[in-house]
Structures are given as structure tokens and as C-alpha cells.
Copies of this chain bind each other. A is one copy, B any other.
Amino acid sequence: MKAIGFKTSLPIENEDSFIEFEIIKPKPKGKEILVKINAISVNPVDFKIRQNSAKDIVLAEPKIIGWDAVGIVEAIGDDVSLFKVGDEVFYAGDVTKQGSNATYQLVDERIVGFAPKNISNTEAAAMPLTSLTAWEILFDRIRISKEKDKGKSILIIGGAGGVGSVAIQLAKKIAGLTVLATASRNETTDWCKQIGADHIVNHKDLMNDVRKAGFEHLDYIVDFVDTNDYWDIMVELIKPQGHIASITGSSEPIVLNKLKSKSVSFSWEFMFTRSMFQTDDMIEQHHILNKISALLDSEQIVSTVSHTFKSFTVENLKEAHKLLESGKTIGKIVIEY
């Protein structure tokens, strides 16, 4: 089977930043399903791993990354109970295993959902990783209640990016929150409004913009940009007893004590926690993806695909990484097979 990967971490412009190669098509065991991939999408985690996982070393075998795919179940392991051959599925996968930049991939059935039926493969491929992340941060980490928390306010830092674009929709349409999202360019502002943000605030003048929008404090703040950079302003803007959550990690220690007098909570969301630690509730990702599928099919939320490449080639994958590394993309970049 064809795959694309790398043996050493190189700048995307380098000839060998991605290479194409052939490997043997794997066989599913246990709870694994083998998926014939029809489309993939790229995420910031992809280029972070490409840039850092093989620094100053050359791997014996090329590393295959990529964590978003839609495809058809081609074979199943002995313990598979959720899917059968021929099912259309979508998933993000497991960062500790081979990624989706290949024509076939093995994936644990518990982290796979049925693909939406009323939208294209391209539209579906954009969704798994960002939807899982956005769903988990809102409903599993912050534990926003769709019944009790209606009408509360949330600030989404990084509204137009992949995760932000799903978080805006889920926060607005599923949780019923009032959504403030950061955006600064005209395109990102329009996009965030279009998918449901009630107020657009500029990250360059965040405090004033939030106050101008009529908010002294926010019930929830989710950060998809930089926890260290936004710490002090989040401390200021969060409501007493509020909840801040982030996916970015923090390179510097945090003055956590600043949240104490307000009794504020903070959560990290890392979409790979469940598969990495094989948690007892790993199957939640199957359920979440099925809910996302239903929301897409019923048009309660829309796909966030914004760029499409028409074939799975080294050139297109390089181009997709280049775009993503620019930090300027809106929504998601998909590669069709």
C-alpha cells in the first residue's frame, strides 16, 4: 500500500520533508478495523510532530502521521462488534499508532464513528479531530450541561481555526451559550459570525472589546492559541467560580494562584488522552463521533472544510502543511484520495 511519511524532521520546503513509499497492507486484530481511506485532513499536531519527532536523527522506517480520515471498513478484527465490512467511517485515530497519511489504516473501533451520510467525504474528513476536541473540552472537561447552563457566556480564543470553528458551533447551537470569539481579519470575522458567534472580539484589544460587547466576566473561556500568553487576561475576564480550558499546553510555569480568590477551575483537553491511556471510557469517542455525524446530517452544525486538494500526493501534503504552518488558515484543509 502507498503511504507518505518522513525519516527525519525537516522544514516543509525541503525536498525530503515528506517522501512516498510502499508498505505491506496490515491485518486487523482484536478490536481493530482496517479502513480504506477516501479523504484525510491535516491538523496543527501533524506539523508539530513532523517538525519535532525526528530532529537530528534518521528513522529506520518512515514515520506515518496524520490524524483525520474518512473511509470504508475493509476488514475487521475478531473482537470487533461496532462495525462490519463496507461501513463508512470517520475517525481521528491514536497518536501512538500509525497515522492516516496512507491508503489503508488500522484503528481501534472504540475511537471510530459512522461517517455522516448527507455530506461528502471531503466535508466529513475535516471533522473528527476538531469535533472530538471541541466536544470533549466543552462537555467532558468543563462539563457544560446542555440543560442547566443555557444562556451562560463563553469566550473562544482562536475562533476561526479548526477547533475554534467547531467549538463556536457546539457552544452556540448545542449548549445554547452566548459566544464571544476572537478574530481580527475580515475573513475570520465573517467566518466566525457565519458559524454562530454572537460577538467578535479582537485579540489585540481583548479586554476592551469584551467590555464593549457588554461583558464584565465570562462564565467559560476556552483557549486554542497560547495559555501562557493569555493567562493574565483570562484570569481577569473569568467569572468567579468560572472555568478556563485549553488545548495548547504551556511552555512556561503558570501563576495558578491568580485563580484562587475566584475559585476558578482549569482543564486541559488533549484529544489523544483516551486512546493513549486506553481509558475505560475510550468508547466515548465512538459515541461523540456518532453524535457529530448526526449533527452534520441534520445540518445543526456544518463542516469546517475550507481548502481541498484533489489527490493524495507528496506535493499536496507538503502544500497542506505549508498552509497550516502559516497560521492563517480558516477552518480545515482536506486532501481527497
Q: Which A residues lie at the B interface, using CB under 8 A?
A: 136, 140-141, 143, 227, 240-241, 245, 249-257, 259-270, 272-274, 276-277, 279, 281
Contact = CB atoms under 8 A, between A and B. Distances in A.
Contacts of A140: 241
B143 A241 contact: no
A263 B141 contact: yes
A263 B253 contact: no
23 contacts: A141-B265, A227-B256, A240-B274, A240-B276, A240-B277, A241-B279, A249-B257, A250-B257, A251-B257, A253-B253, A253-B254, A253-B255, A254-B254, A254-B255, A254-B257, A260-B268, A260-B270, A261-B273, A262-B277, A263-B268, A263-B269, A263-B270, A265-B266
A259 B254 CA distance: 12
A257 to B, nearest CB: 5
Identify the 5 closest CB pairs spanning chains A and B, nearest first: A253-B253, A265-B267, A263-B273, A240-B277, A254-B256
Best-buried of A241, A252, A257, A270 by chain B (most CB within 10 Å): A241
A230 B84 CA distance: 48
B253 A264 contact: no
A40 B115 CA distance: 63
A249 B263 CA distance: 10
A197 to B, nearest CB: 24
Number of copies of this kind of chain in the complex: 2
Contacts of A250: 256-257, 260
A39 to B, nearest CB: 28
A277 B217 CA distance: 12
Contacts of A265: 141, 245, 265-268
Contact of A253 (B241, B256, B266): B256
A279 B141 contact: no
A15 to B, nearest CB: 33
A175 to B, nearest CB: 16
Nearest to A136: B263
A240 B279 contact: yes
Contact of A259 (B136, B257, B268): B268
A274 B241 CA distance: 8
A29 to B, nearest CB: 24
A332 to B, nearest CB: 22
A335 to B, nearest CB: 28
